[in-house]
Chain A
Amino acid sequence: MSAITLSHVSKHWGPMRAVDDVSLTADEGSLLVLLGPSGCGKSTTLRLIAGLEETDAGTITIGGVDVTHLNPAQRKISMVFQSYALFPHLSVAENIVFGLRVRGVSRAERDARLKRVADIVDLGHLLERKPSQLSGGQRQRVALGRAIIAEARVCLMDEPLSNLDAKLRHEMRTEIRALQQRLGMTMVYVTHDQTEAMTMADRVVLMRDGRIEQNGAPEELYNRPATAFTARFIGTPPMNLLRQGDRLIGVRPEHIRIVSGGDHVVRVKAVEHLGADSIVLCEFDGQPISVRLDGFSKVSPGDNLPIAWDADHEHRFDPASEARLDNIVKEDRLAASGQ
């Protein structure tokens, strides 16, 4: 059974269509990522699911129950805010059990659950502290603890890692994913960071201007971007999009090889050494193109490189609508390999 379903949900702010006819489904126990650039409507979509905003059209169901017109508390969800929304005057323990106190859970049970949750999020030694005495990562854990103590089946996360530094973000990413799978929660996770989406999600919903651009598993978005927008958004560095006459083609940087007597010659503009590989930023017919090379590449700016790529690594898009044009041959081959 699907845990969360949105069907034809819209939300307008005056003439601005923040969320425009969005339909999606998050399966029970899965992690769905709402991905997109800022202002694409992903946070509004999450707030609609939470009940913090009223829908203008469409219906939302959680666990098979129509919750479109229920208030946030009646939806039986938990949520982690970007700012963590910790109550600054309450201790860590009081923050975590806040919801239980509201619902009048007995003191003994509160304490028992607090102990369990504090172990899960590893905060046992900090329970008496105030949020201002904690580091960013610890605050994040408090927010997580508050979200999981209610044992709600659905947990919503609004860019929970965007205030952390890169290293911590990486740790928390794995931790949140592990927690979600361990507790079997259905999670909707909003982010603008495609790395988070790719590494954590069971399903990624990429949004743009209030509409869904593509909805699929992470590898689907990566391997078969439905539009040039998706191609540009997913991957670091993103897919190279090249206009060749009236064609718009895309090639991933890692699919480009340097071969003597290659099909094209590009001029190197800059080289970024990442350690395990190097990104060579080049110019091709006046268009930027990046090439991923293994190891510490020795090419230097100003060099001319002969390059080539396999035809089946080429993604074709309609130059006007930027929608994917699938060549029949490749479709057939994929179908064959799937069988």
Chain B
Amino acid sequence: MTDAAVSPPVAERRAGSQAWWNAVNAWLLLLPAAVLLVAFTHWPILATIRHSLFITRRNGTEVFVGLDSYQAMAADPIFWKALINNFWFALGTIPTSIALALLMAIWVNRNMRGRGFLRLAYFTPTVLPMIAVANIWLFFYTPDYGALDQLRSLFGLGGWNWLGDPSTVMGCLIVMVIWKEAGFFMIFYLAALQQLSPDLDEAASIEGASRWYIFRRITFPLLMPTTLFVAINAVINSFKLVDHLVIMTKGGPNNASTLLLYYIYEVAFTFQDSSYAATLTVVLLILLSAVALIKFGYLDRRIHYQ
């Protein structure tokens, strides 16, 4: 009897300390990831936002200026130019590279000779270093003796300074980025296509569905998770492009090829104006968070995940 009367509190205490240990254990296991996340993601974001509200004097002291930098930004024509450029750049690259990637994946996802070689060929642009890629395309676009102009001369057309003309420079960049991205995205589509059971195709074809009908009603909806993933990546990439610009155009001519991140890079490291760069970075952050919110808040709920 005494045993029974005494044992519940002991068991309770033991259960209590057990739960406490479990919690400590869980936090310890989370710690490495949490430290990395806080140190390299959350803290920099907060520091950037704070930094955008201050300016740094020559002697290194910081002065609080509130939203002054944002007002300056709103009046900065180059910022608007970069933003609009970025919009056209995204619009030019994302849908085309995704459509091309899907097309290539469906084409390569068949039993045919040289399939492995084709897949490799499509993937090469992703493997090549970006500087090398930029140099190859620089050669294509070089006026007079570049590959493109030599082709033009065959038809008796004169040379054209592709990257030096504000009307063509953006188009040139878009074509290059599509070439680079489509192969990369194709790999994701290919992986997704290989996950799809061939039974579904066969079941649909027994019901009399045409190839196009099967694609429209079965394959494409089932690829939506991949399409979303690829689209998010494409959006992020279109805001991330810097290296090609540094090699090929330096944002020129007349800022016709300046994109947001390149402008941030210039402001921060060429003009050494770190607080204005922080202000621009906050804009970029807001844009990318909006994309993430749309994905998690809206699109994920409308897409079928297996």
Contact = CB atoms under 8 A, between A and B. Distances in A.
A72 B306 contact: no
B206 interface: yes
B47 interface: no
A96 B221 CA distance: 18
A73 B207 contact: yes
Contacts, number: 59
A41 B208 CA distance: 26
A72 B209 CA distance: 10
Nearest to B206: A72
A73 B208 contact: yes
A89 interface: yes
B304 A89 contact: yes
Given A88-B306, A89-B304, A102-B213, A83 B199 contact: yes
Interface in B190-211: 197, 199-200, 202-209
A78 to B, nearest CB: 7
Contact of A98 (B207, B221, B306): B207
Interface in B262-281: none
A142 to B, nearest CB: 12
B102 interface: no
Given A89-B221, A89-B222, A89-B304, A81 B199 contact: yes
Contact of B205 (A71, A130, A132): A71
B19 interface: no
For B203, B217, B218, the residue with the greatest tally of chain A CB atoms inside 10 Å of its CB is: B203
Contact of A83 (B197, B213, B306): B197
A81 B203 contact: yes
A95 to B, nearest CB: 9
A289 interface: no
For B206, B222, B304, the residue with the greatest tally of chain A CB atoms inside 10 Å of its CB is: B206
A89 B218 CA distance: 8
A67 to B, nearest CB: 13
A88 B222 contact: yes
B159 to A, nearest CB: 53
Interface in A258-273: none
- Size bracket, chain A contacts: 20 to 34
B199 A85 contact: yes
Given A85-B197, A89-B221, A52 B202 contact: yes
Contacts of A82: 199
Contacts of A88: 222, 304, 306
Interface in A120-165: 130, 132, 146, 150
Contacts of B202: 50, 52, 72, 79, 81, 85
A150 B306 CA distance: 27
Contact of B207 (A83, A99, A132): A99
A50 B208 contact: no
B218 to A, nearest CB: 6
Contacts of B208: 73, 99, 102-103
A52 to B, nearest CB: 5
Contacts of A98: 204, 207, 209
Contacts of B218: 87
Contacts of A72: 202, 205-206
Main secondary structure of the interface of B (DSSP, over half): helix
Interface in A67-120: 71-73, 77-79, 81-83, 85, 87-89, 98-99, 102-103
A224 to B, nearest CB: 37
Interface in B142-198: 197
B199 A102 contact: no
Contacts of A85: 197, 199-200, 202-203
A218 B206 CA distance: 30
Contacts of A77: 206
A102 B207 contact: yes
Contacts of A87: 200, 203-204, 217-218
A103 B209 CA distance: 8
Interface in B239-289: none
B203 A79 contact: yes
Contacts of A81: 199, 202-203
Nearest to B205: A72
Contacts of B199: 81-83, 85
A85 B204 CA distance: 9
Nearest to A76: B208
B50 to A, nearest CB: 45
A79 B209 contact: no
A132 B221 CA distance: 16
Given A87-B203, A88-B306, 18 more contacts: A50-B202, A73-B207, A73-B208, A77-B206, A79-B206, A81-B199, A85-B197, A85-B202, A85-B203, A87-B200, A87-B217, A89-B304, A99-B206, A102-B204, A103-B207, A132-B306, A146-B203, A150-B207
25 contacts: A50-B202, A50-B206, A52-B202, A72-B205, A72-B206, A73-B207, A81-B199, A82-B199, A83-B197, A85-B200, A85-B202, A85-B203, A87-B218, A88-B222, A88-B304, A88-B306, A89-B222, A99-B206, A102-B207, A102-B208, A102-B209, A103-B208, A132-B306, A146-B203, A150-B207
